[in-house]
Amino acid sequence: MPPEFGTFEDEIYADRLPASRVDCFPQAAGIVALALGASDTLAVALDDGRIAAGSALAPAELSAVEVHDGVSQALAAGPKGGFVSGGDDGRAVLLGPGGALTELLPAGKAWVGAVAATAAGGLIAVASGKVLRLFDAAGTLQGEAPPVATTITALAFNPKGKRVAAAHYGGVTLWYAAGLAGTPKALPWKGSHVSLTWSPDGRFVVTGTQDKELHGWRIDDGVDMRMSGYAAKVKSFAWSADERWMACAGSPYVTSWDFIGKGPMGRPPHQFGASEEFLATHVAAHPKLPVVAACFEDGRIEMGRFMVEGQVLLKEVGGGLPTGLAWSADGGRLYMTTEDGEIFVVDLEDLKVSAASGKGKRR
């Protein structure tokens, strides 16, 4: 007789989630980045400069295309399908169905350190050295911003796709997509900012810094906040489906901050994690349910709720160092890639969500 379960919350608290099935799909080279795209597509950037892409339902059948004379430094889903990649050879491309390549930038002296795309705005952002360029979904150049003072390290669009943020030494710069030539808004803070996220409600921008801290700004009034205590630079963020919580990696625990109201100032974070030895490298929020998954340096994957302690183990220790983590759009599969060239797929059919109802099967 199958076990009886109550609500999903009961299962998390009781650590009774049924054993998930984990499959492994080795690739021909190490993997440096992972992206899931529209219509159940998947792409991985290999450490020999190729991009392997295809159906996320068949990771063993991905087709690899030579893209970079070096390594991809940034990989993202395209705004209307396909994938965008920028490499240390200075080249940026839009990879379409069947491996068709549209070159956004030719190989050059400056690395492409960051790319981003917005389905809402139909735009692609590419950072080459100190310069930000915007392209439409077909890969046609739409504009170029004047150089910022230092190299751009991360990019993010706001939820409507009408503004783009760039992180760099000394803070963040915000442009309107339709006004790259105009005066941008500066969000200053000392030090080097290495990662970036824009909250899904559009009210906050948060960076990870070289000093192993988070720094955030409230867009409306410019009030800034600092969140410290991390063991490593924070390079992975995940926002809850209800837009209230932001989880991040960078410590042995998954740390979640409450951004309701005026933000997390004065509120302690919530944490979960079963080990104090290995750091969380990536986090990914379920697309509908109030849970977040995290992978750790030892190859483990855990899942917990944003606002409480306690976790369930989805994948045992093993495999190479994680390089990416992402949910399928329906929340029924979780993908993790490693530097050893493995794509692990955790089958969580019970958490699959109906797009219409927004509810998991067992809720």
Predicted pLDDT of residue 154? 98
H/E segment holding residue 10: helix 8-14
Q: How far apart are CA 363 and CA 361, in angstroms?
A: 6
Percentage of the chain beyond pLDDT 90 is 80
> Among residues 330, 235, 243, 219, which one has the least CA distance to residue 281?
235
Contacts of 29 (CB under 8 A, 6+ apart): 46, 47, 48, 50, 341
Residue with the larger pLDDT of the pair 288 and 135: 135
Domain ranges of the chain: 236-351
Predicted pLDDT of residue 331? 92
The pLDDT tens digits for 191-249 are: 999 999 999 999 999 999 999 999 999 999 999 999 998 999 999 999 999 999 999 99
Whole-model pTM?
A: 0.92
Q: Please state, in angstroms and as integers, the Cα–Cα distance from residue 126 to each residue in 73, 80, 129, 268, 305, following that order.
A: 11, 16, 10, 35, 34
Q: Please state, in angstroms and as integers, the Cα–Cα distance from residue 143 to each residue in 85, 136, 155, following that order.
A: 19, 10, 16
> Among residues 140, 130, 45, which one has the least CA distance to residue 83?
45
Predicted pLDDT of residue 10? 54
Predicted pLDDT of residue 11? 54
Tokens of 36: 């899931």
Predicted pLDDT of residue 359? 47
Tokens of 74: 């940034």
The pLDDT tens digits for 312-354 are: 899 999 999 999 999 999 999 999 999 999 999 999 877 776 5
Which is the CATH superfamily of the domain at 236-351? YVTN repeat-like/Quinoprotein amine dehydrogenase (2.130.10.10)
